[in-house]
Amino acid sequence: MIAATRTFLVPFMRRPVAAAGLGILVLMIVTAILAPVLAPYDPSKIDPISRLLPPNAAHWFGTDQFGRDILSRVIYGARLALLIGVGVVSFALITGVPAGVLSALFPRFGRVMMRLIDVLMSFPALLLALGLIVILGRGVSNAILAIGVVYLTTTSRITYGLTLRLRTETYVEAANSMGAGAFWTIRKHVLPNLVSPLLVQASFVFAFAQLSAASLDFLGLGAPPEIPSWGNMLAEGRIFITRAPWLLFFPGFAIAITAFSLNLVGDALRDRLDPRFRDMLRK
Amino acid sequence: MGSYALHRTGAAIATLAAASVIIFFFIHLIPGDPIHVLLGDTATPDQVDALRAKLGLDQPIILQYFRWLANVARGDFGTSIFFQMPVLKVIGDGAETSILLATITMIWITIIGVPVGVIAAMRHGSWLDQGLSGVAMLFASIPTFWVGLYLILIFAAWLGWLPSSGYPSIFEQGGLANLRYLLLPSLALAAPNAALILRLTRASMLDVAREDYIRTARAKGIRPMRVILRHILRNALLAVVSAFGFTFAALISEAVVTETVFALPGIGQLVVQSILRRDYPVIQGIILVTVVLYLAVNLLVDLSYRLLDPRVELQ
């Protein structure tokens, strides 16, 4: 366990920028968990007297059109961002990894499955998500599902490619020739080797999920308006851009810095990968 | 080349056929009776009967699918609930804005992404390279609509140089000068995609620079600049050409949000408004049109790639 942790941390110790990315990510997780302690105000508390205040000593990030404290809303917004990220990544991995591994090991199943993935990939990402939202309706879990389906396609494709390569490794062939079953091979040889590349994929998916969810929220088709998500804050603050430019700065910055950190972390992890896997994960 | 083109076209048509099944069932997956989904709540009994007969909704679903397909092939995508006009006409009205926006954005992506990527690769490992790569990564992480909103604030509201929203057709009043309405939207839309092309150009230049024939070229005494432009860049651009396929898909996705920010009368804004208006036939039509376009672009990219690099084989 300690050795594994050290291997994970090595790429960050040598790259200060990537270390900063990891640091921001940890900060975001801590913020999300400790939101009630950290937020100076109730994020939904309306205060008509202090509407659209610029950043000041009492409200560091200013207030919005209802007098709600923007800092508190940005802090609570980290919760939804984390939920969306974890939700989308889990969905993409839980569905995409078995689909990819089984397709590579059972060619007949694989032909059908990968054709199906091809078809899903012929829909531009946001349109696929929007189409699913139309069927499922608006909401946080539906947004996770809709974005999750988009990234299930890329995740299963990558897993498929990686597993095909692993199958030709000498030790896998040796195991097979000694009579190892498909599932033994998956558990002993395939899955352990997929962990690192999938960690890279997970950080990129987490980053893109932030941007996709923000787009859905911004269009009014994501999280319900009463939830203080960063995307909702941008959607609501939009018409006040000339009167209160700070209204849009902080939530947008939070989205950008989260996605940026995850991309940095993903990049650093990818550079440590086995070169044979690296080119499959290039964005 | 002939058999390759044939195979790829066949595969694209097969994918389109499968996608059309999903798009057809889309209407049936929406909660409610399909006929009311297609006609809206205000439909008269006459309209209901007419559409029921046209689509044959009392017949087996397979037959309904082929009827729908036959109608689509004839250019009949149904009727918009909101506009009470043929869906294809409604989509066509938004086409000018979206096509021009995509074209101008592609120009930005190419003239920014490729040269800056080349410069970063030439100065590989330097502070300039790390700075440019970092900025590119940052732009790839910023939501396009956020960039768009601040472009509006700075260039439209504060400086007053450019219009903040809308787009009057160049074929009506104003002529080509109307393209200035698309300047800010295209820049916002280009930002993340130019960043990706920049990163790709840089990475692909570095890959090619490691090839044996580059060492040979240098050993022959060819001037460094010529090696970079004639030998490395020309080969590196292959990877960039293949990236234009998924860049196009990204553009479609991000145009939906960008057109909404800038209130552009394009297909992207139309799809969002149609979702809010529950105008399902229009949503279905737009999804169908974009899938066809996207598959066509990918096919063209694959074929031109093969033309540029004859080594490419069918998998």
**Measured between CB atoms, which of A134, A234, A263 is closest to B141?**
A263
Mean predicted lDDT score pLDDT of chain B? 87
Query: What is the model's pLDDT at position A3?
Result: 65
Dihedral sign computed on CA atoms, order B311, A121, B192, A83: negative
Query: What is the model's pLDDT at position A109?
Result: 94
User: Contact at 8 Å (CB) between B286 and B91?
Assistant: yes
Q: Which residues of chain B make contact with A132, given a CB cutoff of 8 A?
A: none
Closest CA to B287 of B298, B299, B297, B274: B274
Nearest residue in A to B147, CA atom: A252
Give how far A239 is from chain B: nearest CA, Å: 10
CB contact under 8 A, A135 and B30: yes
**Measured between CB atoms, which of B31, B137, B260 is closest to A263?**
B137
Q: CA A278 from chain center: how many Å? A: 20
3-state secondary structure of A14: coil
Confidence tier at B49 by pLDDT (50, 70, 90): confident
Please give the residue that has the higher pLDDT: either B39 or B148.
Answer: B148
* Phi, psi torsion values for A202, nearest 5 degrees: -60, -40
Beta-carbon neighbour count of residue A2 at 10 Å? 6
Nearest residue in A to B159, CA atom: A242
- Show which residues on chain A lie within 8 Å of chain B, measured between beta carbons: 17, 115-116, 118-119, 122-127, 130-131, 133-135, 207, 211, 214-215, 218-221, 234, 238, 241-242, 245, 248, 252, 255-257, 259-260, 263-264, 267, 282-283
Nearest residue in A to B135, CA atom: A260
Q: Which residues of chain B make contact with A271, given a CB cutoff of 8 A?
A: none
- What domains can you pick out in chain A, each with its CATH number? 17-39+59-276 (1.10.3720.10)
Confidence tier at B185 by pLDDT (50, 70, 90): very high
Nearest residue in A to B292, CA atom: A122
Give how far B81 is from chain A: nearest CA, Å: 16
What would the pLDDT profile of A5-20 be if each residue is shown by its tens digit? 766 677 677 777 788 8
Q: CA B262 from chain center: how many Å? A: 17
**Measured between CB atoms, which of B29, B146, B290 is closest to A127?**
B290
CB contact under 8 A, A211 and B252: no
pLDDT of residue B167 exceeding 70, the answer is: yes
Give how far B112 is from chain A: nearest CA, Å: 18
Question: Would you list the DSSP string of B271-292?
Answer: HHHHHHHT-HHHHHHHHHHHHH
Beta-carbon neighbour count of residue B247 at 10 Å? 22
CB contact under 8 A, A219 and B249: no
Whether this model's ipTM surpasses 0.90 comes out as: no
**Measured between CB atoms, which of B16, B26, B143 is closest to A255?**
B143
Query: What is the model's pLDDT at position B312?
Result: 67
**pTM as predicted:** 0.89
- What domains can you pick out in chain B, each with its CATH number? 2-73 (no CATH), 91-304 (1.10.3720.10)
Residue with tokens 């109730």: A42
Question: Would you list the DSSP string of B82-117?
Answer: TT-SBHHHHHHHHHHHHHHHHHHHHHHIIIIIHHHH
What would the pLDDT profile of B189-244 be if each residue is shown by its tens digit? 999 999 999 989 998 888 888 888 888 888 888 888 888 888 888 888 888 888 88
Strands, E assignment, chain B:
none
Beta-carbon neighbour count of residue B95 at 10 Å? 13
User: Contact at 8 Å (CB) between B188 and B251?
Assistant: no
Angle among Cα A277, A280, A283 to the nearest 5 degrees reads: 130
CB contact under 8 A, B272 and A218: no
CB contact under 8 A, B141 and A122: no
Closest CA to A128 of B250, B307, B9: B250
Q: Which residues of chain B make contact with A221, given a CB cutoff of 8 A?
A: 272, 275
- Mean local confidence (pLDDT), A84-102: 95
Confidence tier at B315 by pLDDT (50, 70, 90): very low
Structure tokens at A30: 């801590």
CB contact under 8 A, A118 and B15: yes
